[in-house]
Structure 1
Amino acid sequence: MIGERNIFCRPGEGLARPRSGQAVVWAESPLQLLSAVEGHGAGLLGRNTVIHPRAGSVGMSSTLTSLMSQVPDGVSFTAGASRIPSPRIPGMDRWVIGDAFSGTVQRQLMVRPPNGEVVVLDDGLATRSLLAGLASERPVPLIRPRATPTAARRSLGLATWFVLRRLMQSGRLLVFTALPVAGQVRRRFTQLGGHLESHRFEWLDTQPVTEVVNEPTVLVGSAMPADGLIDGDPYVDWVHSMTDDGPVAYFPHRREEPDVLSRIAAHPLIQMKEHTVPVEMRLRSLHPGQQVHCLPSTVLASLGLILAPSGARIIGHAVPEQWWTPSTPDRVRRHLSSALDS
């Protein structure tokens, strides 16, 4: 397999498509699932791509059901997995992950350094944090911006920085993202040997639209109250205030708490939508005059790409200072608010 063309590219070279070889994907969220299919459809993962969906992750079953009936040739899925696949599976050319800040992923990189290439898919705003860290002139522990790490966790994150930088220098690290990346970070990342490929959900754009939304206002839910980052009461009040202009379709985040959702749904002008698949797959039928609102979130960038041809608007709202809980550090507030720059 290693003798095939387009398995690896030297630093500074563009990636010829379609690429040959075999890819193994560890997908821990619906967005990572969709990103893996986009990566394969773009010809970046290889001739054959095996996706291992993490068992028990909220929203995975419905997304799998939707994707399995329409994925491009060469994509297959395993049953829900509880363990991450090894970076050294025989015959594998690319080890594909979404969350490079995961301790599980990082321990695999330490114990079983991959012989092939590592591909990182979108995992929300964390993807931009990863790129910025890897482009840094000084070593940076690769830790989630929201984490308060132990000394051992910082050591693991720092060791991972060195491993991924070595992969970059040998042309064996690819990041595949729909998020906008600052020009300085992009240039530095590629100068160091990393490959950065962007997409606009081209594969998804070829698929039939299966859901119609009639409400003039769409609100994409936030997990911030469930994560303890903002108070739930002002958030619910804000959602209810969106009905001042008419009916609202509310698409909940997969981690939202049932009690918050029930309070939101109590308003007679709010149509609570059942959580099924990512909103990137659900809101493609919107038309001029409809608006999508959300707090700072990855969907500002992803839906912005998808909705651009439709004429529908997506509007991001800053989190008022008084909403933040006292335990939410300033660095986390800045990290989440950076989505408004998309």
Structure 2
Amino acid sequence: MSPRAGSTGPQSPATLAFVESPVQLLNVLEWAHAHALKAAALRSTGETSGPPGPELGAGRPGGTGRFGRSGRPGGSGRPGGPGRTEDARPGEAGTGLTLVVLSPTDPMTRGQLRRMAELARDEGYDVRWEEARGGTTAPFHTVGGLAPLLRRARRIVMGDPFSRYVQLLLTITRARDLVVVDDGTATMEFVSQLARGERLVRWHRRGGRPGARDLVFAPVSARARRRLTPGAGRRVEIFSSMPIDETPEGVDVSANDFAWTRARFGPPRITKGADLVGTSLVETGVVDPDRYVEAVKGLAGTYGATRYFAHRRESPEKLHRLAVETGLEIVRPDLPLELIARRGPIGRMILSFPSTVVHTLPLALAGTDVKVAVFDIDPAWLTENASPRAQGFLSGVTDTARDAHRLSTITAT
């Protein structure tokens, strides 16, 4: 595949989306589906399409693609089951949506992004793959190549407003319509920081004075934050499945209920056992690895879990240790877990530590008998390098998981 296979032709896209992870790409597809449904509903009542901005023009309305309605290769499958929505016919105006993948270097993430890019093309969207981190000169080539599209695009959709790459691109665009889709639980922190007018910094970053790179990039970050603040004819939307209690003034918030996922995949076959969802809290320096392994071992023994769905950022060394010490089957998904679970087979109970999936899986699995359970992180598990905000943030993720069952904390020995 060429780096820009499926990229746009001479015309510029009306909507340009930037993604750096599989989950971000999934949530752009969810946003596009919801946007098309809303536009279709407004057209049926003779109303205008609401906030300014072009409609999406996908090449194949309905988007069955080679995965079919069930999300299984080659078959027509069944309709999406409980929660299925009717196919939205994207609007005819504009040149539609182009997804720009700012590819990372991690092999697991790249693999999942390739698979998600296939699904996006099956839906009829253009995908532009950028080797944005492929060497010292890659950022200059990427930014230079995207600059003309950025200046002409009328809407920008982004999955990670904390990304320095995205913040830099925001300083180039003239778009007046900006959309932020979920990048997991980080969205909750982004919304809070935007509402309070704080600088944008990830929750797991250790507190204290900014480093040298932060200081150099500070003017770009500050300008990006101003661009993400509504005003002067600029519209900002947050499309999220996360609980948002502190909405910034003037920001439109719309709900992501995973309608596209439910329409395109499943319903899943449900097994009698339990599955456990992994987390990258060890890799980000928040949780001690020994405590984490002991906690996983305790969960597997208590609830009879047999499979461990690894997070794409978990290290091979840690996963090997988990397999040896817990006896769990380690599964490295080739798609985001929401799609894996919806396709099935999946356990009747899904066990998770505080993470994005305790909010998203109940939505993706709506109408099924699968239960999602969340366990608190014991403060004793945190490393000395963990951010002072870590415990409060993780507790907040658990506290706000509306449709997940909260189970007792397991104390690692």
Relative to the length of structure 1, the TM-score reads: 0.81
Equivalent residues of 2:22, 2:116 under 8 A apart: no
Note the aligned Cα RMSD (angstroms).
Answer: 2.7
- Equivalent residues in 2 for 1:87-126, closer than 5 Å: 89=150, 91-110=152-171, 112-126=172-186
Deviates more, 1:101-110 or 1:69-78: 69-78
Equivalent residue for 1:60? Answer: 110
The equivalent position to 2:239 in structure 1, one of 159, 164, 176, is 176
Output one character per residue of 1:208-247: Cα deviation in whole Å (capped at 9) or x when no partner: 3397563611111010111221111121122122232334
> In the alignment, does 2:299 pair up with 1:238?
no
Equivalent residue for 1:312? Answer: 370
Equivalent residue for 1:216? Answer: 273
- Equivalent residues in 2 for 1:145-224, closer than 5 Å: 145-148=203-206, 149-150=210-211, 151-165=215-229, 167-168=230-231, 170-182=233-245, 185-186=246-247, 189=248, 192-209=249-266, 214=271, 216-224=273-281
Q: 1:79 to 1:121 in 2, by over 3 A?
A: same
Shift of residue 296, structure 1, vs aligned partner: 1.0
Equivalent residues of 1:178, 1:200 under 8 A apart: yes
> In the alignment, does 2:93 pair up with 1:51?
no
2:198 aligned partner, one-letter code: V
Equivalent residues of 1:106, 1:156 under 8 A apart: yes
Equivalent residues of 2:268, 2:346 under 8 A apart: no
Q: Distance in 2 between matches of 1:220 and 1:142?
A: 28
Q: Distance in 2 between matches of 1:288 and 1:332?
A: 30
Q: 1:173 to 1:124 in 2, by over 3 A?
A: same
The equivalent position to 2:313 in structure 1, one of 232, 248, 255, is 255
Q: 1:285 to 1:332 in 2, by over 3 A?
A: same
The equivalent position to 1:325 in structure 2, one of 383, 388, 394, is 383
Q: Distance in 2 between matches of 1:124 and 1:289?
A: 22
Equivalent residues of 2:185, 2:355 under 8 A apart: yes
Q: 1:177 to 1:87 in 2, by over 3 A?
A: farther
1:76 aligned partner, one-letter code: D
The equivalent position to 2:357 in structure 1, one of 293, 299, 302, is 299
Q: What are structure 1's unaligned runs of at least 5 residues?
A: 1-20
Deviates more, 1:290-299 or 1:79-88: 79-88
Q: Distance in 1 between matches of 2:319 and 2:259?
A: 33
Q: 1:94 to 1:144 in 2, by over 3 A?
A: same
Q: Distance in 2 between matches of 1:309 and 1:329?
A: 38
1:252 aligned partner, one-letter code: A
Q: Distance in 2 between matches of 1:169 and 1:78?
A: 31
The equivalent position to 2:31 in structure 1, one of 39, 59, 67, is 39
Q: Distance in 1 between matches of 2:330 and 2:292?
A: 15
Shift of residue 63, structure 1, vs aligned partner: 4.2
Q: 1:72 to 1:173 in 2, by over 3 A?
A: farther
Shift of residue 86, structure 1, vs aligned partner: 3.5
Output one character per residue of 1:99-136: Cα deviation in whole Å (capped at 9) or x when no partner: 111222223333x2423322111111221222122222
Q: Distance in 2 between matches of 1:239 and 1:87?
A: 49
1:330 aligns to what SS in structure 2? coil
Equivalent residue for 1:25? Answer: 17
2:188 aligned partner, one-letter code: R
Q: Distance in 2 between matches of 1:42 and 1:277?
A: 21
Which structure's relative contact order is higher, taking Cα pairs within 8 Å and 6+ residues apart? 2
The equivalent position to 1:276 in structure 2, one of 318, 326, 334, is 334
1:224 aligns to what SS in structure 2? coil
- Equivalent residues in 2 for 1:124-139, closer than 5 Å: 124-136=184-196, 139=197
Equivalent residues of 1:289, 1:311 under 8 A apart: no
Q: Distance in 2 between matches of 1:71 and 1:96?
A: 17
Equivalent residues of 2:14, 2:154 under 8 A apart: yes
The equivalent position to 1:75 in structure 2, one of 125, 130, 138, is 125
Relative to the length of structure 2, the TM-score reads: 0.68
1:117 aligned partner, one-letter code: D
Equivalent residues of 1:27, 1:97 under 8 A apart: yes
Equivalent residues of 2:18, 2:166 under 8 A apart: no
Equivalent residues of 2:300, 2:326 under 8 A apart: no
